[in-house]
């Protein structure tokens, strides 16, 4: 297999437009049009009118080979606007919503179409002219804000940038207002977007004051967005406001059995006989056979945003949300509604959220058939798709069932991500088919759910398509978002049962029907949704103990109605896909050590989905309707999710964000081979696109998939009869493209991904402002053939010798060795060796254990496994410890930064002693990276990290258990987060205080902090009772005068504010609580509250400021150990001290410290200084301590990663002369590290609990110059 990333300017296009004339008539002459072609073909294409990266734009009447049409239009939200020279305002636009121009001194909003793709050079040139780019829109368009001078410069076409502008026109008020709102009367609920400047903020505040806030104000790129109910006449009255950007209708979101889990895995179930498919009768055993045993507690965390969970207590969840030991698998229940803090906090009074959580992760319970927890045929009730996953419940619907989210979507998802959630399940939405502000929010969150942490923290987000079918374009928002996985509702396979009142005929199908109410595509801007379908009927789920009403009847008379209920709808299909995604995440982490990107998850689900062609696309409640066509289809998307296919052994090639494409025309290419030529091959490209514009169609960056097989080239999403067809044109709308090749495909399969248009920042963590990454999943394909033969033979105690055969060139990525235990179990990666190797020695085999080995060749991806070989090693036991991982991580709360860690003791299957290694990093992606290991060899079940710990954090910790005798470690992935600090001081303000009604002068309360310290983190708890909090402004001011607006007229008519800003809620701004970090705490803190509108009244009932002391990071210093250690000191012939020590068992390097005292070590402290820059692992150093006084003792400590040894050497005045080179470090190989400042240490028995100082490269002692150090010294010497 070969992979190539074609350099910029070397694009290989293969887009062909074919014009077929009518029979018997000559083809009419085509007018010249503009086309994008590869730069190297410019000479044969026609007149070049523009260049963009690796593409050129040519003008010709005949489309040249490999051309792509440049359409002279702008795709706005409500219309396709002609945007070529001479084009004006369309005739159907209301004339009263058309501007007559801008004043000379006015910066206005304009639409601009470029002659070709946007490049960095054009972007920079526009900014140099003073243009402010607000959004990019298809095709090659922008919304910009220009002053008169910039408009004139662009209109004259005198500069290179101006000549790239094909058309310039006003962003008319008519384009900013959705047609449904033109002429509206009464009160309307709208989503209102403004430019994020002073005038825009003022307009948004005016809208909130005139109406009622429905959805919190939040940023959207260079815009601000909020949902508001207001008088309809204001919409057109504000149409000409210079900062009004977009107004469109807003609709409040609404909420949208083991047998179900088995069907989701592709197994049919016969409810009458209890017999079912080839999988067996035990879903848990089926999972365990695929390395997904729910008993091991390694499943991902899934957020379920819904109506709450059971009684709201995470420690006592509903039936089945426990682990094998009966402990709750509910991580948290967060209530983001007005119920928070009250009797209904987190409580699920409807059962919808509890049912969804049960489908994701329910375990059910053991019992006899017919016992109430198991069906008469032996199936568990309440068994979900991923019974090893954990649940983070987020309540967004209040006790009345109304949508009541009080925080932005970003906060909703961020809190779940902070708890470790990787998947978010959302069985709710609005019956709006457009790309809404909420859809845009979720597109951003898929890329990065925690923008406060460096890098990307992605979230796999699953949304229901909604229950507004069967009409076209009925998928709801935020399911219209590009980057989420949108799910349609399919039937279950459960003959003979009537569930939730549905006719038994619904379950008498093979599960190939789409339910009539399932939302259909496309979206309003023409994109393909839903993405996939999943089983929506016949789920037997946990019943919420807090739910009222009977709910759906149970299909089994023996089901315990107090614990279970039936559940149907896209609401049920969505958590089924979320659970399937969780299984895939767990599987990928086990196989690769890293979680998959959301793009790869979507690609894999689509690649393994089952085409429902021939089933029924129901249009009526009795299940009747036309037959489903083959994929892609607006009812089923790309097919029915099939966990069985997703987790089977069919070889698949995955490329998870292998490259970042930065310029139009740049490509990524790979050559593959079909694994089984008798089976079809499916290639899926997916990418996490930049959030879309609010002014235009959703697509931003456009990638194209091109697959060549058997001499024929296929473009992504060009289909006929369920398979890819030759020809066609590239898909310019969707960020998911598929090529499906039929069975019988042979020979190489060349896959090409091309950047066709990159106007937006698809990878914010990358410095390039216009770029995009992507994921590829290719089913039934391999990069290389498997090694044809493998042998495994015992080769001594705990050793197995492997050898394999290989013909042809050495694989570029070498060979990967994998091992499993016989009798079942997953293969784990042991090592990767160079491509020239044909043998390897396994030195970690446990004696008496039979192992199965396989080898993969690695190119750009791994080949299938070789034929397996089995061997049983001799020698002692070498199994890894059994360990649950880190249990707690908490700030020590002292002035010196520290973190206290604890865990439960590990056990060794071998009966060996066990120690623990601790890893620390600044992101959750730790792994067992040696560079992040801060201590080895800890034998206790707790440890204090007290050195080089930065203040504030966040920090992430991982603990691994290691067999001390064999060095074999467990592979748990439990990572906990902590923010180090020095304790918290709370100051309570004056209250209660009445808030003056309709008076911006407001009321001020004070709180006094008497302690003086540096603030490391701040939060403010506010309790206000008020009948319309959108009237309120709440601002806190520090003693230093820094003001932070906590609440800025948000929240609509909610009755009060009961929040802790800084933990539960991010301040509305202006200002941030982070602005207080580093300030002094001492003095008077002030809370200002004002009510800007008359009528509604309220009271500041209480408030407090919570200040965390900033801690001081401690330097690395030696820890003193027992004076009986193995360190020895003697004077050599030259008068230097020859220091020898025993190598610490786990030391990767050492540092030697020296201290001096006039008494014995016991009971005194030493002023330690580091004696050498680095002395490696040789266990010896020559040290000149200078002229110490008579009778004084010099002590040494040799410090490794695990512990310390010390010894003493006394001498008299006869040897007190000071050499000329005193105070210098000798030259050493490798980088130098300055020693820490001297520290006073009290002798104690301890092992080293800190990261060692950086070491120079190890080498033999004789190859180095002696390292000299003199005592006493006023300051540590700087190492050379």
What is the per-residue pLDDT across 229-247, written as a single tens digit (0 to 9) for each?
999 999 999 999 999 999 9
CATH superfamily of 73-171: Peptidase S8 propeptide/proteinase inhibitor I9 (3.30.70.80)
* CA Rg value for the chain: 34
Is 90 exceeded by the pLDDT of residue 581? yes
Dihedral sign of CA atoms 615, 618, 621, 624 in order = negative
For residue 546, what pLDDT is reported?
81
Question: Tokens 């994020």 correspond to what residue?
Answer: 196
Q: Is the peptide bond before 954 cis (omega within 30 degrees of 0)?
A: yes
Is 70 exceeded by the pLDDT of residue 1130? no
The 3 state secondary structure assigned to 1188-1234 is: CCCCCEEEEEEECCCCEEEEEEECCHHHCCCCCCCCCCCCCCCCCCC
Q: Comparing 346-360, 889-903, 1131-1145, 1156-1170, which segment has the lowest mean pLDDT?
A: 1156-1170
Mean pLDDT, residues 1195-1207 taken together: 50
Q: What are the tens digits of pLDDT across the range 1058-1105?
A: 889 988 788 989 999 989 988 999 999 999 999 988 777 889 999 999
Look at residue 580 and give its three-state secondary structure.
Answer: helix
Alpha-carbon gap, residue 528 to 509, rounded angstroms: 26
Q: What are the tens digits of pLDDT across the range 450-466?
A: 887 778 899 999 999 99
| Contact yes or no for 1168/1155 (Cβ under 8 A) | yes
> What CATH class has 790-872?
mainly beta
Report residue 28's pLDDT band, with 50, 70 and 90 as the boundaries: low
Hey, what are 582's tokens?
A: 């969780």
User: In this structure, are strands 790-794 and 1128-1131 parallel, antiparallel, or unpaired?
Assistant: unpaired
**CB under 8 Å to 503, separation ≥6 — which residues?**
622, 623
Burial class (CB in 10 A: 0-12, 13-18, 19+), 659: middle
For residue 1233, what pLDDT is reported?
34
Task: Describe the crossing of helices 352-361 and 570-592 by its angle, rounded to 10 degrees.
Answer: 30
Cα separation values, 769 from 123, 143, 428, 694, 965, Å: 9, 17, 34, 19, 52
Regarding predicted confidence, which is higher, 547 or 1203?
547
**Cα end-to-end distance, the chain, whole Å:** 49
- What CA dihedral angle connects 497, 502, 508 and 509, to 10 degrees? -140
Regarding predicted confidence, which is higher, 1183 or 81?
81
Alpha-carbon gap, residue 707 to 716, rounded angstroms: 8
Percent share of the chain, pLDDT over 90: 45
**CB under 8 Å to 1099, separation ≥6 — which residues?**
992, 993, 994, 995, 1024, 1025, 1026
Residue 587 dihedral angles phi and psi, to the nearest 5°: -65, -45
| Contact yes or no for 1151/1118 (Cβ under 8 A) | yes
Other CB atoms within 10 A of residue 237 CB: 10
Q: What are the tens digits of pLDDT across the range 796-831?
A: 999 999 999 998 889 888 999 999 887 666 788 899
Q: Comparing 581-595, 873-887, 976-990, which segment has the lowest mean pLDDT?
A: 976-990
Cα separation values, 1203 from 486, 532, 871, 948, 1248, Å: 54, 56, 39, 17, 4
- What CA dihedral angle connects 167, 170, 173 and 179, to 10 degrees? -10
Report residue 422's pLDDT band, with 50, 70 and 90 as the boundaries: very high
Which of the 8 DSSP states describes residue 583? H
For residue 526, what pLDDT is reported?
94
Is 60 exceeded by the pLDDT of residue 1254? no
Give the number of C-alpha atoms closer than 13 A to the C-alpha of residue 738, restricted to the C-beta side.
26
| Contact yes or no for 753/665 (Cβ under 8 A) | no
Mean pLDDT, residues 772-777 taken together: 97
| Contact yes or no for 490/609 (Cβ under 8 A) | no
Of these ranges, 45-54, 248-257, 436-445, the one predicted with the greatest mean pLDDT is 436-445
| Contact yes or no for 640/268 (Cβ under 8 A) | no
Cα separation values, 892 from 664, 718, 897, 979, Å: 52, 60, 7, 10
The 3 state secondary structure assigned to 1043-1111 is: EEEEEECCCCCCCCEEEEECCCECCCCCCCHHHHCCCECCEEEEEEEEECCCCCCEEEEEEEEEEEECC
Q: Which stretches does DSSP call E strand in 616-658?
A: 652-656
Is 90 exceeded by the pLDDT of residue 737? yes
Q: What are the tens digits of pLDDT across the range 516-554?
A: 889 999 999 999 999 999 988 778 888 888 876 545 554
Is 50 exceeded by the pLDDT of residue 613? yes
Is 70 exceeded by the pLDDT of residue 833? yes
Is 80 exceeded by the pLDDT of residue 471? yes
**Under CATH, what is the fold of the domain 649-782?**
Jelly Rolls (2.60.120)
Q: What are the tens digits of pLDDT across the range 314-341?
A: 887 776 888 777 888 999 999 999 898 8
> Cα–chain-centroid distance for residue 339?
29
**Under CATH, what is the fold of the domain 257-292+301-607?**
Rossmann fold (3.40.50)
Q: What are the tens digits of pLDDT across the range 85-108?
A: 778 888 889 999 998 878 887 899
For residue 1134, what pLDDT is reported?
57
Written as one string, the DSSP assignment of 77-109 is: SS-EEE-STT----TTS-GGGS-----TT--EE
For residue 861, what pLDDT is reported?
77
The helix (run of H) or strand (run of E) holding residue 671 is strand 667-674
| Contact yes or no for 347/546 (Cβ under 8 A) | yes
Helix then strand count (H, E) for the chain reads 14, 67
Alpha-carbon gap, residue 1253 to 1251, rounded angstroms: 7
Q: Comparing 657-671, 989-1003, 1217-1231, which segment has the lowest mean pLDDT?
A: 1217-1231
Alpha-carbon gap, residue 294 to 282, rounded angstroms: 13
Alpha-carbon gap, residue 37 to 1119, rounded angstroms: 68
Q: Where in the chain is the domain with CATH 2.60.40.10?
A: 790-872, 886-975
Q: Where in the chain is the domain with CATH 3.40.50.200?
A: 257-292+301-607
Alpha-carbon gap, residue 949 to 899, rounded angstroms: 8
Regarding predicted confidence, which is higher, 342 or 459?
459
Regarding predicted confidence, which is higher, 1179 or 130?
130
Hey, what are 65's tokens?
A: 């080979």
Q: Where in the chain is the domain with CATH 2.60.120.260?
A: 984-1109
Mean pLDDT, residues 696-720 taken together: 94
- CATH number of the domain at 179-249, out of 1.20.1530, 2.60.40, 3.30.70, 2.30.30? 3.30.70
Is 60 exceeded by the pLDDT of residue 764? yes
Question: Tokens 């070989």 correspond to what residue?
Answer: 869
Per-residue buried b or exposed e for 739-769, using 16+ beta carbons within 10 Å of the residue's own CB = bbbeeebeeebebbbbbbbbbbbbbeeeeee
Percent share of the chain, pLDDT over 70: 77
| N residues, the chain | 1280
Question: Tokens 């739910």 correspond to what residue?
Answer: 547
Bridge partners (DSSP) listed for residue 60 = 33
Look at residue 1021 and give its three-state secondary structure.
Answer: strand
For residue 1163, what pLDDT is reported?
39
| Contact yes or no for 709/725 (Cβ under 8 A) | no
CATH number of 984-1109: 2.60.120.260
Alpha-carbon gap, residue 918 to 949, rounded angstroms: 13
> Cα–chain-centroid distance for residue 693?
22
Look at residue 428 and give its three-state secondary structure.
Answer: strand
Is 90 exceeded by the pLDDT of residue 1150? no
Q: What are the tens digits of pLDDT across the range 1005-1030?
A: 999 998 888 888 899 999 998 878 88
Is 50 exceeded by the pLDDT of residue 1258? no
Mean pLDDT, residues 714-719 taken together: 95
Alpha-carbon gap, residue 174 to 599, rounded angstroms: 36
Report residue 938's pLDDT band, with 50, 70 and 90 as the boundaries: confident
Is 50 exceeded by the pLDDT of residue 1124? no
Alpha-carbon gap, residue 863 to 672, rounded angstroms: 10
Alpha-carbon gap, residue 677 to 658, rounded angstroms: 27
Alpha-carbon gap, residue 359 to 540, rounded angstroms: 8
**CB under 8 Å to 1251, separation ≥6 — which residues?**
920, 934, 935, 947, 948, 1116
Mean pLDDT, residues 145-164 taken together: 89
**Under CATH, what is the fold of the domain 886-975?**
Immunoglobulin-like (2.60.40)
Of these ranges, 39-43, 287-291, 306-310, 889-893, the one predicted with the greatest mean pLDDT is 306-310
Which of the 8 DSSP states describes residue 179? G
Other CB atoms within 10 A of residue 1093 CB: 16
Q: Comparing 80-94, 180-194, 1106-1120, 1243-1257, which segment has the lowest mean pLDDT?
A: 1243-1257
**Average predicted confidence (pLDDT) for the chain:** 80
| Contact yes or no for 1003/995 (Cβ under 8 A) | yes
Report residue 17's pLDDT band, with 50, 70 and 90 as the boundaries: very low
| Contact yes or no for 498/623 (Cβ under 8 A) | no
Burial class (CB in 10 A: 0-12, 13-18, 19+), 155: exposed
**CB under 8 Å to 516, separation ≥6 — which residues?**
469, 470, 618, 619, 620, 621, 623, 625
């Amino acid at each position: 297999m070969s992979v190539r990333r074609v350099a910029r300017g070397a694009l290989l296009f293969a887009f062909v437009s074919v014009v077929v004339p009518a029979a018997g008539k000559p083809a009419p002459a085509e007018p010249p049009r503009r086309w994008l072609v590869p730069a190297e073909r410019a000479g044969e294409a026609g007149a070049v009118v523009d260049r963009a990266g690796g593409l050129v734009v040519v003008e010709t009447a005949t489309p040249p080979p490999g051309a792509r049409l440049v359409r002279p239009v702008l795709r706005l939200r409500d219309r396709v606007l002609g945007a070529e020279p001479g084009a004006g305002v369309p005739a159907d636009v209301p004339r009263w919503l058309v501007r007559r121009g801008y004043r000379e001194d006015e910066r206005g909003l304009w639409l601009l179409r470029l002659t070709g793709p946007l490049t960095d050079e054009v972007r920079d040139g526009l900014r140099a002219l003073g243009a402010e780019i607000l959004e990019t829109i298809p095709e090659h368009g922008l919304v910009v804000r220009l002053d008169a001078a910039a408009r004139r410069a662009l209109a004259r076409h005198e500069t290179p940038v101006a000549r790239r502008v094909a058309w310039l026109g006003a962003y008319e008020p008519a384009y900013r207002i959705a047609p449904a709102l033109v002429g509206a009367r009464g009160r309307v609920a709208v989503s209102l977007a403004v430019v994020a400047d002073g005038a825009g903020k003022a307009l948004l505040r005016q809208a909130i004051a005139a109406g009622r806030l429905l959805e919190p104000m939040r940023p959207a790129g260079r815009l601000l967005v909020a949902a508001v109910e207001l008088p309809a006449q204001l919409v057109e009255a504000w149409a000409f406001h210079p900062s009004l950007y977009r107004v469109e209708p807003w609709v409040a979101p609404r909420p949208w059995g083991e047998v179900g889990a088995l069907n989701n895995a592709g197994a049919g179930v016969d409810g009458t006989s209890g017999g079912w498919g080839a999988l067996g009768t035990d879903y848990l055993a089926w999972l365990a056979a695929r390395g997904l045993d729910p008993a091991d507690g390694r499943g991902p965390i899934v957020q379920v945003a819904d109506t709450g969970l059971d009684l709201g207590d995470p420690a006592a969840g509903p039936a089945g949300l426990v682990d094998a030991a009966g402990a709750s698998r509910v991580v948290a229940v967060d209530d983001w509604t007005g119920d928070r803090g009250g009797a209904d906090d987190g409580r699920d009074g409807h059962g919808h959220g509890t049912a969804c959580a049960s489908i994701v992760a329910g375990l059910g319970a053991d019992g006899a058939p017919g016992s109430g927890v198991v069906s008469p045929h032996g199936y568990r009730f309440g068994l979900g798709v991923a019974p090893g996953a954990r649940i983070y419940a987020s309540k967004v619907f209040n006790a009345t069932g109304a949508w009541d989210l009080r925080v932005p979507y970003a906060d909703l998802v961020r809190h779940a991500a902070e708890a470790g959630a990787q998947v978010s399940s959302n069985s709710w939405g609005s019956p709006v088919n457009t790309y809404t502000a909420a859809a845009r929010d979720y597109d951003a969150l898929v890329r990065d759910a925690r923008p406060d942490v460096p890098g990307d923290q992605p979230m796999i987000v699953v949304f229901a398509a909604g229950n507004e079918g069967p009409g076209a374009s009925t998928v709801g928002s935020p399911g219209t978002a590009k980057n989420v996985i949108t799910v349609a509702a399919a039937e279950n396979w459960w003959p003979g049962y009537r569930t939730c009142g549905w006719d038994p005929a619904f379950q008498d199908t093979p599960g190939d029907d789409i339910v009539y109410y399932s939302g259909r595509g496309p979206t309003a801007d023409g994109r393909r949704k839903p993405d996939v379908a999943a089983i929506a009927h016949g789920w037997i789920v946990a019943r919420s103990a807090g739910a009222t009403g009977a709910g759906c009847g149970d299909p089994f008379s023996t089901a315990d109605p107090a614990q279970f209920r039936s559940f149907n709808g896209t609401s049920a299909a969505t958590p089924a896909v979320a659970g399937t995604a969780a299984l895939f995440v767990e599987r990928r982490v086990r196989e690769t050590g890293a979680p998959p990107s959301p793009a790869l998850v979507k690609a894999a689900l689509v690649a393994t989905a089952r085409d429902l062609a021939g089933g029924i696309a129901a249009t009526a409640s009795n299940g009747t309707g036309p037959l489903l066509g083959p994929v892609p289809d607006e009812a089923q998307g790309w097919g029915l999710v099939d966990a069985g296919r997703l987790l089977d052994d069919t070889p698949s090639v995955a490329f998870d964000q292998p490259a970042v494409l930065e310029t139009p025309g740049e490509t990524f290419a790979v050559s593959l081979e079909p694994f089984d030529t008798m089976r079809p091959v499916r290639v899926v490209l997916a990418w996490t696109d930049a959030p879309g514009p609010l002014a235009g169609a959703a697509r931003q960056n456009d990638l194209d998939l091109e697959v060549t097989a058997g001499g024929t080239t296929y473009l992504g999403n060009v289909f006929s009869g369920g398979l890819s067809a030759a020809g066609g044109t590239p898909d310019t709308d969707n960020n998911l493209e598929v090529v499906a090749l039929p069975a019988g495909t042979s020979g190489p399969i060349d896959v090409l991904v091309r950047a066709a248009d990159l106007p937006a920042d698809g990878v914010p963590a990358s410095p390039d402002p216009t770029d995009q990454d992507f994921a590829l999943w290719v089913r039934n394909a391999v990069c290389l053939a498997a090694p044809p033969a493998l042998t495994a033979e015992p080769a001594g105690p705990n050793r197995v010798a492997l050898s394999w055969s290989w013909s042809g060139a050495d694989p570029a990525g070498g060979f990967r060795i994998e091992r499993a235990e016989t009798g079942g179990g997953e293969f784990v990666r042991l090592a990767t060796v160079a491509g020239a190797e044909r043998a390897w020695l396994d030195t970690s085999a446990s004696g008496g254990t039979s192992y199965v080995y396989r080898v993969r060749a690695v190119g750009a991806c791994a080949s299938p496994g070789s034929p397996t070989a089995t061997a049983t090693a001799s020698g002692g036991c070498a199994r890894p410890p059994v360990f649950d991982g880190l249990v707690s991580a908490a700030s020590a709360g002292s002035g010196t930064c520290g973190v206290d860690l604890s865990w439960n003791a590990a056990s060794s299957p071998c009966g060996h002693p066990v120690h623990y290694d601790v890893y620390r990093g600044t992101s959750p992606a730790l792994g067992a990276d040696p560079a992040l290991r801060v201590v080895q060899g800890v034998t206790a079940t707790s440890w204090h990290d007290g050195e080089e710990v930065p203040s504030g954090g966040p920090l992430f910790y991982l603990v691994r258990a290691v067999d001390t005798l064999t060095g074999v470690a467990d592979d748990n992935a439990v990572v906990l987060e902590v923010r180090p600090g020095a304790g918290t001081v709370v100051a309570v303000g004056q209250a209660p205080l009445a808030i003056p009604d309709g008076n911006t002068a407001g009321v001020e309360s004070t709180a006094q902090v008497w302690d003086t310290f540096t603030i490391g983190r701040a939060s403010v708890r506010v309790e206000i009772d008020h009948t319309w909090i959108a009237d309120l402004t709440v601002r806190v001011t520090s003693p230093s005068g820094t003001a932070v607006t906590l609440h800025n007229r948000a929240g609509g008519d909610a009755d009060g504010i009961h929040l802790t800003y800084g933990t539960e809620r991010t301040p509305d701004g202006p200002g941030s609580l982070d602005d207080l970090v580093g300030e002094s705490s001492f003095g008077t803190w002030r809370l200002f509250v004002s009510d800007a509108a008359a009528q509604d009244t309220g009271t500041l009932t209480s408030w407090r400021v919570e200040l965390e002391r900033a801690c001081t990071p401690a330097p690395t210093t030696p820890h003193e150990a027992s004076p009986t250690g193995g360190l020895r000191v003697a004077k050599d012939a030259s008068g230097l001290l020859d220091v020898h020590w025993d190598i610490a068992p786990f030391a990767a390097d050492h540092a030697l410290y020296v201290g001096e005292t006039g008494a014995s070590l016991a009971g005194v402290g030493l002023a330690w200084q580091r004696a050498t820059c680095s002395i490696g692992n040789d266990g010896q150093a020559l040290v000149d301590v200078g002229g110490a006084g008579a009778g004084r003792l010099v002590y040494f400590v040799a410090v490794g990663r695990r512990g310390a040894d010390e010894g003493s050497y006394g001498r008299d005045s006869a040897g007190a002369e000071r050499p000329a080179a005193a105070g210098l470090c000798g030259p050493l190989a490798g980088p130098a590290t300055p020693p820490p400042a001297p520290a006073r240490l009290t002798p104690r028995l301890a092992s080293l609990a800190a990261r060692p100082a950086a070491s120079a490269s190890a080498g033999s002692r004789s190859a180095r110059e002696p390292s000299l150090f003199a005592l006493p010294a006023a300051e540590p010497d700087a190492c050379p």
